[in-house]
């Protein structure tokens, strides 16, 4: 049994979550559920990033205390667990004492690579990052398309340049594997352009007193990314009771971060450098997804084109939303959302596809009675082939689901060809169909767990016998 650590990024809580946040959480949840289905021991983590300047500015804008703002919005992010049927094992808040202890310990372990100097640079509060002028697009932040602030103050810096060659080697060898390859190439290009030491603190004055104190210097607060990245290990007890840290991080088999492409640099370069400095084990895999766009533009709270996952789920169901995001959106690239696309995909794949097939078969078996599981060799071979493709493609969720739906299509063709309603002894036909549906329910479980449970309950298989229990429609059609 492998020990597998899986994390999402932790989200800024300066506003409510949008569908882009939901996409990442669902993707990570699918991976976690899949590993559990293999018998692996999984620690699945998410959290909220509560120490950013974004939160300070949003609280000022709303005229409320910073703590009140982060407490209010944290609840909205945490509630995604229930709304989207996510299987987190823990949710870390960066204002928790366990995290403060862990972040300050990591700083202390990195102290030989930390120094203080005066600095002047262009800062994007949205990215929480300094940019070089040549990185800007028309003088604006390349990510948020907004002007940057000119900041001049004395801060602490980390000796990133010292670790450039080592990080390049680790990524080249796939010791830190970046998926997909094009994101790896982007990181290699950035490293080859020359890494510079980076700022890891801000003045307490600029931070308005909000954030984690730099050890032995309460005039400075940790840069939010130094503190935020530490959440992956502080949630495991790093800095305190570290049994989980030892089990899932230091001695674990897989350490996987699911992140958006906009924060790849922090996870592929800064985070490994910090861990190398502290002599802590490195992550193994970065799964880097794209963005959900609306009319081709990145969905963003700052842009104001957000779609509320709460509303979408209340209208269409959690599994419907999960399926659309995993099937319609390329797993590792951008995908565009419209309600028209959603309803078309739902009706074709879920209502008229899986839902219709399942109800047809259950209705036939319900009239016929008990059916023993005795699939013919052709059916067993076909399903074995789909399972092989499923396992090979799994992390490319949309491609994996295409394979599953090809099996659904095969079942529909089989019914039309064999016409079981015209055959006196239907047992072999129905057995093949029920065996196929059983496997389909197992295949979709990581993607649509509620639907998988409903299918299992209605199939009602025990000791090699199906005694179906006809229930509600899996996916009523959207009219």
From CA 279, how far away is CA 77, in angstroms rounded? 33
From CA 94, how far away is CA 101, in angstroms rounded? 10
Catalytic residue among 72, 144, 389, 427: 144
Catalytic residue among 35, 110, 141, 454: 141
Secondary structure E strands in 76-228: 90-93, 114-124, 129-131, 149-158, 177-179, 198-199, 201-203, 213-214, 217-222
Q: Is 18 a catalytic residue?
A: yes
Catalytic residue among 124, 199, 289, 426: 124
Q: Is 301 a catalytic residue?
A: yes
Rg (C-alpha) for the chain, rounded Å, is 25
Strands 213-214 and 335-336: unpaired
Is 276 strand, coil or helix?
helix
Residue 232: what are its φ and ψ, rounded to 5°? -60, -35
Catalytic residue among 127, 199, 261, 411: 127
The two structure tokens encoding residue 423: 């055959």
Is 139 strand, coil or helix?
coil
293, 294, 295, 298: CA torsion to nearest 10: -40
CA angle 154, 129, 218 (to 5 degrees): 40
Catalytic residue among 99, 257, 261, 298: 298
Chain mean position to CA 353 = 27
Strands 41-49 and 90-93: parallel
Residues 6+ away with beta carbon under 8 Å from 95: 50, 51, 67, 70
Q: Is 110 a catalytic residue?
A: no
7, 79, 297, 134: CA torsion to nearest 10: -50
Q: Is 124 a catalytic residue?
A: yes
Catalytic residue among 25, 289, 301, 426: 301
Q: Is 144 a catalytic residue?
A: yes
Q: At what angle do helices 356-368 and 397-418 cross, to 10 degrees?
A: 40
Q: Is 127 a catalytic residue?
A: yes
Catalytic residue numbers read 18, 21, 124, 127, 141, 144, 298, 301
């Amino acid at each position: 049994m492998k020990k597998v650590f899986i994390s999402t990024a932790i989200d800024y809580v300066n506003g409510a979550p949008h569908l882009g946040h939901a996409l990442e959480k669902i993707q990570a949840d699918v991976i976690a559920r899949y590993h559990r289905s293999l018998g692996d021991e999984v620690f699945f983590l998410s959290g909220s990033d509560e120490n950013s300047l974004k939160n300070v500015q949003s609280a000022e804008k709303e005229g409320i205390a910073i703590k009140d703002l982060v407490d209010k919005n944290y609840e909205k992010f945490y509630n995604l667990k229930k709304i989207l049927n996510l299987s987190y094992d823990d949710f870390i808040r960066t204002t928790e004492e366990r995290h403060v202890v862990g972040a300050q310990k990591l700083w202390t372990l990195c102290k030989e690579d930390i120094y203080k100097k005066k600095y002047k640079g262009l800062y994007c509060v949205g990215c929480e990052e300094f940019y070089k002028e040549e990185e800007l697009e028309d003088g604006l932040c390349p990510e948020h398309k907004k002007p940057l602030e000119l900041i001049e103050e004395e801060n602490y810096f980390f000796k990133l340049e010292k670790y450039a060659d080592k990080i390049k080697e680790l990524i080249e060898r796939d010791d830190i594997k970046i998926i997909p390859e094009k994101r790896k190439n982007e990181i290699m290009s950035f490293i080859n352009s020359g890494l510079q030491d980076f700022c890891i603190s801000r003045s307490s004055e600029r931070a308005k007193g909000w954030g984690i104190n730099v050890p032995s210097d309460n005039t400075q607060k940790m840069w939010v990314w130094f503190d935020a990245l530490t959440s992956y290990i502080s949630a495991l007890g790093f800095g305190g009771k570290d049994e989980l840290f030892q089990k899932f991080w230091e001695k674990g088999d897989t350490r996987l971060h699911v992140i958006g492409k906009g924060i790849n640099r922090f996870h592929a370069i800064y985070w490994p450098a910090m861990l190398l400095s502290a002599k802590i084990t490195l992550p193994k895999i970065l799964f880097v997804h794209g963005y959900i766009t609306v009319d081709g533009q990145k969905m963003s709270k700052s842009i104001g084109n957000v779609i509320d996952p709460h509303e979408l789920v209340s209208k269409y169901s959690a599994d419907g939303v999960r399926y659309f995001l995993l099937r319609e959106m390329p797993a590792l690239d951008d995908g565009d959302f419209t309600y028209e696309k959603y309803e078309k995909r739902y009706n074709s794949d879920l209502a008229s596809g899986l839902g219709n097939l399942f109800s047809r078969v259950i209705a036939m078996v319900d009239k016929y009675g008990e059916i023993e599981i005795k699939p013919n060799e052709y059916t067993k071979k076909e399903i074995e082939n789909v399972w092989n493709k499923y396992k090979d493609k799994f992390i490319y969720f949309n491609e994996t689901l295409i394979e599953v739906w090809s099996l659904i299509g095969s079942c529909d063709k089989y019914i039309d060809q064999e016409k079981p309603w015209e055959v006196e002894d239907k047992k072999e036909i129905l057995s093949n169909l029920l065996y196929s549906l059983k496997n389909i329910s197992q295949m979709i479980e990581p993607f649509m767990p509620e639907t998988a449970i409903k299918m299992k309950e209605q199939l009602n298989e025990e000791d090699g016998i199906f005694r179906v229990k006809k229930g509600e429609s899996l996916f009523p059609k959207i009219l």
